[in-house]
Structure 1
Amino acid sequence: MKARYLAIPFLMLTAGSAFAAETIEKQIQVIASVPTAQFYVEPVGNWMDDPQELIYNSQRGDFSEVRRQFQAKSTIGPIKAFLTTQPELVSGIDKFSLKVNMAGKDLGLTPVELLNQAQASAGTVMDFRIIAEKPAGGYVPGSYQGMVNMMFESAAPGGA
């Protein structure tokens, strides 16, 4: 009689393990980059992985700026930067422009020298700012989003 009571829990254990035969696979993308010793422009910290928020101040009726830093170095020559598109934030049909400033210089659609050859060779940390440009009629309520697309280049002096 005692053997019968032991057989029931044993059968329940083996039946339970038959149900655990299902599997679930997960994949995690992992990336890494090692900049060249000759030329790099990298954010200071991991802030580029997260959306950067312009905070609206209701009393002033304007946005605070996004202020971050980049570190840069080039043993090739001066470092230039430009915007690949005019940055703006959009909410439905409403939008407003953004001004982008790096190393104290406003970026536009044509290259601007951020660091001369001596500064670039030594390497430095540059301030980076995104500033909302208030439209003539003021800001229209909404949830805005957009992108700032920049390009950095370094070439030997006398090159393009």
Structure 2
Amino acid sequence: MRQLRLPAALLTAAALSMCTSFAYAARDEHRFDISVTIPTFDFYAIPADPEFLQHEQRMPWNLATATLDPLRTQFDMINSSDPMTARLGYEPVLSNGRSTFGLKVTFNKQVLTLSDTLVVSAADAYHGIRVPVRIDALPPAAGFEPGDYYGSVQLIFDTTPP
């Protein structure tokens, strides 16, 4: 019987090609968007939590009190020269298409209306301050009706000469 002899280099190459045929190259790519807000240091009013404006906010239903728990957040405020005012752009309501109820917006312990309300003094605004914001559901006279409610709140900030 005649024996076939292959050079060692050829055997090694054959063995490696068999091993690598089972190893596949993998590639994964992801693309995502990035946005930034770089405020002017002369004037800004922005949420302390950058995600606050990016996502729908939920007011949880409180079974024990049969009311909606308030929504709370904080805003960072700065103005290099004057006090700061805030107002609502429109009366905020939540609606399910059949039923509506109002919202009370309190900014730095001041209830906001459609008129300018002083919310940060000139001294606090000059150094910058973080202030609380609270949004409460105003219970309808007949009580809250079941359903999915939607709405929005528009806050407008201005400077006011002292």
TM range (shorter): 0.7 to 0.9
Which among 103, 116, 119 is matched to residue 114 of structure 1?
119
1:71-122: CA deviation from partner (whole Å, max 9, x where unpaired): 1110120010000010010101211000000100000100000011111111
Distance in 2 (alpha carbons) for counterparts of 1:76 and 1:121: 6
Instruction: Report SS of the residue matched to 1:69.
Output: strand
Distance in 1 (alpha carbons) for counterparts of 2:90 and 2:31: 34
Partner of 1:41: 45
Which among 96, 100, 124 is matched to residue 101 of structure 2?
96
C-alpha RMSD of matched pairs (Å) = 2.5
Which among 97, 110, 123 is matched to residue 128 of structure 2?
123
TM-score scaled by structure 2? 0.77
TM-score scaled by structure 1? 0.78
Instruction: Report SS of the residue matched to 1:118.
Output: helix
How many pairs were matched up? 144
Instruction: Report SS of the residue matched to 2:131.
Output: strand
Distance in 1 (alpha carbons) for counterparts of 2:51 and 2:34: 18
Identical aligned pairs, as a percentage?
29
Distance in 1 (alpha carbons) for counterparts of 2:44 and 2:110: 19
Q: Which has the larger radius of gyration?
A: 2
- Does structure 2 retain, via aligned residues, the 8 Å contact 1:83–1:107? yes
Higher helix share: 1
Instruction: Report SS of the residue matched to 1:128.
Output: strand
